[in-house]
Structure 1
Amino acid sequence: MADTPRCEFEGKNLILKLQKTLEGRIEAIPPFIEGIMEVVESLGCAAGKEREVEIALLEALSNAVIHGCKNDPLKKVECCVACDESRGLLIVVRDPGEGFDPASIPSPIVGQNLFSAHGRGIFMINQLMDEVRYEKGGTEIHMKIG
């Protein structure tokens, strides 16, 4: 990855802008999230929705490591976190994978998908966050709350 994801929040109301890199292995996710959440919580960036942010971040990072990095520690996931007094919290996660079409993901709440052990992450992110969009051909997710 030549460049890091951009958090669009800029200006005088910006409280926090944090860029972090996660190695592409699943075991690295919990301490990575813990570090981000400590900062987010201490600054009050999540508008009382810290648990929602933590779960959405876990799902986005898990998808990035599993599908984008193929659990290869030599590959990296880039994460940008920005907090703005008036616009809330924005988290951008980018992986080095081939991307995907979010519309092609089957609903986890229909038919046999209800019994699948996987496939709920994107659904959960969409339920937990106020705004979600995908860029860079599905290799980058932008999640906003507040």
Structure 2
Amino acid sequence: MSFITKSRNKDGSETDIEMALIEALENAVVHGNCADPHKRVYVTCRCTAEGEVSITVQDEGQGFNTGTLPDPTAPENRLRTSGRGIYVMKTLMDEVCFEKSGAVVHMCKKSNAGSAAKTVAQ
């Protein structure tokens, strides 16, 4: 996170980026790699001069079907202790998309200098 903080103007979205990254990393370790200490998680981060941050998190797991995830806002899921990570990422970042059956997540946060429209892709 210090790389991101140093690479862009503070616009108040630093906590959003950090929380989304934590969720992506936790999903990669716990769900993607099944907490296997021999498997790795790969992270790439790019910060542009305009303040855009792009983060990719890739695990060594089999992936998952992103279309079958239960809605964490549905009444029957509200009291569950898990199942909100992807929802949190999509809420906090401007763009979130998956590749390789969910084993790779790409997230983007645009600078708050402009009025960027929020896009969520699957």
- What TM-score, normalized by structure 1, do the two folds share? 0.71
Q: Secondary structure, in 3 states, of the residue corresponding to 1:133?
A: strand
Greater strand proportion:
1
Aligned mate of 2:36, from 49, 52, 72: 72
- The 2-side partners of 1:65 and 1:88 are apart by 26
Q: Secondary structure, in 3 states, of the residue corresponding to 2:78?
A: helix
Letter in 1 for 2:56: V
What is the total number of aligned residue pairs between the two structures? 110
The 4+ residue runs of structure 1 with deviation greater than 2 A are 45-48
Partner of 2:54: 90
User: How big is the alpha-carbon RMSD for the aligned residues of Structure 1 and Structure 2?
Assistant: 1.4
Alpha-carbon distance, 1:48 to partner:
3.0
User: Mean Cα displacement is larger for which, 78-87 or 102-111?
Assistant: 78-87
Partner of 2:82: 118
Q: Does the CA contact (< 8 Å) of 1:47 and 1:88 recur in 2? A: no
Structure 1: which 5+ runs fail to align? 1-36
- 2:107 is the counterpart of 1:143: yes
Pick closer, same or farther for the CA change 1:93–1:38 going to 2, 3 Å: same
Structure 2: which 5+ runs fail to align? 111-122
- What TM-score, normalized by structure 2, do the two folds share? 0.85
Alpha-carbon distance, 1:86 to partner:
3.3
- The 2-side partners of 1:46 and 1:132 are apart by 21
- The 2-side partners of 1:78 and 1:130 are apart by 21
